[in-house]
Amino acid sequence: MAVNESTFAGKEASRTASERLRESTPVDTDGRAAVSFLFLQTNNMKILIIGGGGREHAIAWKLRQSALVEKIWCAPGNGGISRDAECVPLNVGDVQAAADLAVNLGADLTIVGPELPLVQGIADEFKRRGLTILGPPKMAAQLEGSKIFAKEFMERNGIPTAGVYGVCETPDDACAKLDSVSWPVVVKADGLCAGKGVLVTSSASEAKEFIQRVMIGHEFGEAGARVLLEEGLAGKELSYIVLTDGSNFISLAPTRDHKRAFDNDEGPNTGGMGTYSTDGMLTRELEEEILAKIVRPTLAGLRKENMEYRGFIFFGLMLTNDGPKVLEYNCRLGDPETQAILLRADFDFAAACMDAATGKLDASHAKWSKGASVCVVMASEGYPANPVLGKSIAGLDEAEKVPHTAVFHAGTKREGENYYTSGGRILGIAAVGESLEAAARSAYDAASRITIPGAHYRKDIGMAAAKQPKMAGVRANG
Ligand code: ATP
């Protein structure tokens, strides 16, 4: 893809492998290379990415910047990803087919984007076949696959989270328990529901109606067989993601998502309409608290319970007056968090992923560019309820000319040189800048150059944070 000035695509071919290696190798303050020993030996890594959305496009884009990577496939990928990786067909829920594909392609490493294959045991199948994969085993992926499993794990391991009013196996039990809750209450269908399985409400009738839809109407199938009722927490949300090999970990740049469809957090919930990341969103004290009370106890709990976790852990946090609390775990990178995060990553992501997958992660890998990043999601007319698909996309080349930006494809298909919409979320238009304002200006400049009939995007991504006074003692460079 034609991306920003830091993208190596065009210049790359004319440089030697050793030049590329030297330039892409992060160097710490002593001048020592911060890349693991293993990958100074090789620069012909072949990587398979599982998934086909904006997150996977950002992963492919970042991997392409590594001098260690020779080949990238993405299964199934999408129209835009096909410019950065070879796309191969795959039903992502079919873990046997994914393992067969990795064998047939000769992939050295497989990186899993979405949660479904992880919850279905893709990592276990790869391990059984001796294949290298970045992603947790099925048991640990239950941290995302079952909200009740996650809640019980947090309770066993003393990790701060919302209090529980009940774990309910019948609608009668769930409705009865509503008589003794404090409002607002949060009703959660236990399993994976593509972002629709949670209701936060102060209305008993709304809660009961949701319980009926989930447990009697089976709106989410088996995922709604059990329901969790929990305390509604107040505060600001934060996405905090780590990459771990089970022992060591790298904290990724923190991000904040915008879930509602329209400006000022109005309209229905979506898969995510945009994200931002800045140095100023966490004080050092708050980050230390997150690490001490949440991240390290989670990793210790996983080890204690014999869950070997190699992959990304996404902590969906609420920053309450009583300190940070976990709303949810995800067992993978977020979408669209990844787009904003990888734009700020100033280290060899391929080496870090391989090291985490093989149990050799070196935390000195992580370097983050100072400043901020923003990702604005462009969505189809009618998204999220009834997205209208098949529209032509114009202006991509013009958008990609805006300095410091990258356009990541989520729901697109390609026909020759033309692109058409094929999903609710179409594009993630991302940019970096010295400040949140600068990053947002670039992202919105690029977005304004793209024309898709009926498409919409929020005009306020990161704006509330940009207006706030800067915090003292902020996080910088991980
Ligand atoms: P699904 O299974 O449908 O994909 P999910 O993983 O999106 O669900 P959560 O992340 O647990 O579900 O919750 C979605 C959103 O609901 C959160 O981002 C947050 O805004 C809100 N939420 C969840 N739990 C609480 C809580 N205890 N208090 C307040 N808000 C909450």
The pLDDT tens digits for 48-94 are 999 999 999 999 999 999 999 999 999 999 999 999 999 999 999 99
Question: Does residue 123 sit in the same domain as residue 19?
Answer: yes
What is the total count of domains within the chain? 2
Q: What is the CATH number of the domain that holds 43?
A: 3.40.50.20
Residue 323 is assigned to a structural domain of this protein: no
Question: Does residue 22 sit in the same domain as residue 125?
Answer: yes
Sheet holding 311-320, edge to edge: 249-251, 236-244, 311-320, 323-330
Closest CA to 111 of 312, 398, 403, 383: 312
pLDDT of 37 above 60: no
Residue 12 is assigned to a structural domain of this protein: yes
The pLDDT assigned to 16 comes to: 28
Q: From the CB of residue 31, how many other CB atoms can be counted at a distance below 10 Å?
A: 6
CB of 219 closer than 6 A to ligand 1?
no
Residue 22 is assigned to a structural domain of this protein: yes
Q: Which one of 117, 135, 153 terminates a domain? A: 135
C-alpha 203 – ligand 1 centre gap (Å): 17
Question: Residue 196 belongs to what domain range?
Answer: 170-225
Question: Does residue 76 sit in the same domain as residue 193?
Answer: no
The pLDDT assigned to 19 comes to: 32
pLDDT digits (tens, 9 = 90+) for 112-153: 999 999 999 999 999 999 999 999 999 999 999 999 999 999
CB of 290 closer than 6 A to ligand 1?
no
Distance (Å, whole) CA 6 – CA 371: 15
Q: What is the CATH number of the domain that holds 178?
A: 3.30.1490
Q: Which one of 210, 225, 240 terminates a domain? A: 225
Structural contact between residues 474 and 279, judged by C-beta atoms closer than 8 angstroms: yes
Q: pTM, whole model, 2 decimals?
A: 0.90
CB of 116 closer than 6 A to ligand 1?
no
Question: Does residue 21 sit in the same domain as residue 126?
Answer: yes
Q: Which one of 207, 225, 243 terminates a domain? A: 225
Q: What is the CA radius of gyration of the chain?
A: 22
Distance (Å, whole) CA 12 – CA 67: 9
CB of 163 closer than 6 A to ligand 1?
no
Q: From the CB of residue 149, how many other CB atoms can be counted at a distance below 10 Å?
A: 18
293 Cβ neighbours under 8 A, 6+ residues apart: 159, 160, 323, 324
Distance (Å, whole) CA 169 – CA 215: 9
Residue 296 is assigned to a structural domain of this protein: no
Closest CA to 337 of 375, 286, 380: 375
Distance (Å) of CA 294 to CA 140, 159, 160, 314, 326: 16, 6, 7, 11, 8
Question: Tokens 């709303």 belong to which residue?
Answer: 327
pLDDT of 476 above 60: no
Q: Is 309 exposed, middle or buried (0-12, 13-18, 19+ CB in 10 A)?
A: buried
C-alpha 328 – ligand 1 centre gap (Å): 7
The pLDDT assigned to 212 comes to: 97
The pLDDT assigned to 144 comes to: 98
Question: Does residue 126 sit in the same domain as residue 211?
Answer: no
Backbone φ/ψ region at 266: left (φ over 0), alpha (ψ -120 to 50), beta: beta
Residue 408 is assigned to a structural domain of this protein: no
C-alpha 420 – ligand 1 centre gap (Å): 32
Please tell me the residue having the least CA distance from ligand 1 atom 19: 327
CB of 200 closer than 6 A to ligand 1?
yes
Q: Among 255, 314, 328, which residue has the most ligand 1 atoms within 8 Å of its CB, making it the best to mutate?
A: 328
Residue 360 is assigned to a structural domain of this protein: no
Residue 249 is assigned to a structural domain of this protein: no
Instruction: Identify which has the larger pLDDT, 195 or 393.
Output: 393
Q: Locate 125 and state its tokens.
A: 């199948």
Average pLDDT of span 107-114: 98
Residue 108 is assigned to a structural domain of this protein: yes
Backbone angles phi, psi at 417, to 5 degrees: -95, 5
CB of 293 closer than 6 A to ligand 1?
no
Q: Locate 68 and state its tokens.
A: 């260690």
What confidence tier does 471 reach under pLDDT thresholds 50, 70, 90?
low
The pLDDT assigned to 279 comes to: 87
Question: Does residue 92 sit in the same domain as residue 187?
Answer: no
Average pLDDT of span 206-222: 97
